[in-house]
Amino acid sequence: MFSYRYLFSQLVRRELRQKYKGSALGVLWYLVNPLVLMGAYTLMFGFVLNVQGASRPHPYPIFLIIGIVVWTFFAQSLLSAAPSLIEQGGLVRKARFPREVIPGSAVMVQFITFTALLVLVTPIALALRGSLSPSLLLLPVFVVLLFAFTLGCALVIAVLHAHFRDIAPIVAAALLPWFFITPIFFVANQLPPVQSHPFLGTLLDWVNPIAPFMLAIRSVLFYGRAPELGQVIYMVVAAAVVLTLGRAVFARMQGELAVIV
């Protein structure tokens, strides 16, 4: 795997450049979409739907964009990894390199824009909050855990989609409702139904595997405090289990790739 580092970096750079090649803004387009989403959701959830009313976190746009950035990384990673092995079929049929580099590079492309956005958002969040807390040092750790978790999911989805072409549309369909039950634009235990049925909050914050990542990153960036220990343990275990499982499934199913893609 190590000797294929250069291939990995080539694939990442190629993907980064290819998508917006010839456009005036170039790679800046990667940053435009989340910002537009932030504006639209602020308008929609904040003012039109008035989510959570007066108890809405403040400043709401910053609260929103942290969730959007994390979600965009996760969702776009899965969506771009799913067809990646088929799209790169020419490479797969040509040489015997570790096939993991293909979905891996798809996730890495999203990870690069994700970190770029975090670098952009963090100083703004800190300036608006007006305080600096040592918990911020945990941010890189959480980001790496999120990367590992997402990579594990992406490996499974990519190799499954190569075998069963229904996987990508299923993932795309699942991500839509998934977005709405993920605490991106709300704080679960402040929603009216959750206040009357507290177990719904537990469900939203713990059963959804992406929620602890979302909450932990927002905790250090938005609230400036370390997350609950439970969330940290959850993330470590989820990242380790999913990545191990993802690599095992990929290793098991990758043999026939050159024949089926």
Binding segment (CB under 8 A) for other proteins, from list 8-16, 49-57, 113-121, 177-185: 8-16
Q: How far is the CB of 124 from other proteins (least distance, A)?
A: 35
CA atoms of 231 and 217, how far apart (whole Å): 10
Check if the beta carbon of residue 148 is closer than 8 Å to that of residue 107.
Answer: no
Compare residues 39 and 169 and give the one whose CB is closer to other proteins.
Answer: 169
Query: Which is nearer to other proteins, 10 or 202 (by Cβ)?
Result: 10
Pick the stretch among 45-53, 66-74, 92-100, 219-227 that binds other proteins (CB under 8 A): 92-100
Contact present, 163 and 253 (Cβ < 8 Å): yes
Q: Which is nearer to other proteins, 198 or 255 (CB)?
A: 255
Give, as ranges, the residues between 179 and 208 that touch other proteins (CB under 8 A): none
The residues near 33 (Cβ < 8 Å, ≥ 6 apart) are: 72
- Decide if 112 contacts 12 (C-beta within 8 A): yes
By CB under 8 A, residue 24 contacts other proteins: no
- Of 67 and 83, the one with the shorter C-beta distance to other proteins is 83
Spatial distance between the Cα atoms of 235 and 209, rounded to a whole number of angstroms: 8
C-beta closer to other proteins: residue 48 or 95: 95
Among 166, 176, 196, 229, binds other proteins (CB under 8 A): 166
Instruction: Provide DSSP, 228-253.
Output: PHHHHHHHHHHHHHHHHHHHHHHHHH
Provide the mask over 33-72, with x wherever binding to other proteins is found by CB under 8 A and - wherever it is not.
----------------------------------------
Q: Does 174 bind other proteins (CB under 8 A)?
A: no
- The Cα–Cα gap between 142 and 148 comes to 10
CB of 95 or CB of 132, closer to other proteins:
95
Min CB(160)–other proteins separation in Å: 10
Residues in contact with other proteins, total (CB under 8 A)? 30
Identity of the residue numbered 38: M
Task: Round to whole Å and give the CA distance between 20 and 2.
Answer: 29
Range 106-165, binding other proteins (CB under 8 A): 162-165
Separation of alpha carbons 181 and 100, rounded Å: 30
Reference 76, options 20, 33, 126; nearest CA is 33
The secondary structure element, H or E, covering residue 169 is: helix 167-181
Least Cβ distance, residue 7 to other proteins (angstroms): 4
Please check whether residue 203 is in contact with residue 119, taking contact to mean a CB–CB distance below 8 angstroms.
no
Give the nearer residue to other proteins in terms of CB position, either 58 or 94. 94
Return residues touching other proteins (CB under 8 A): 3-7, 10-11, 14, 18, 21, 90-97, 162-167, 170, 255-256, 258-260
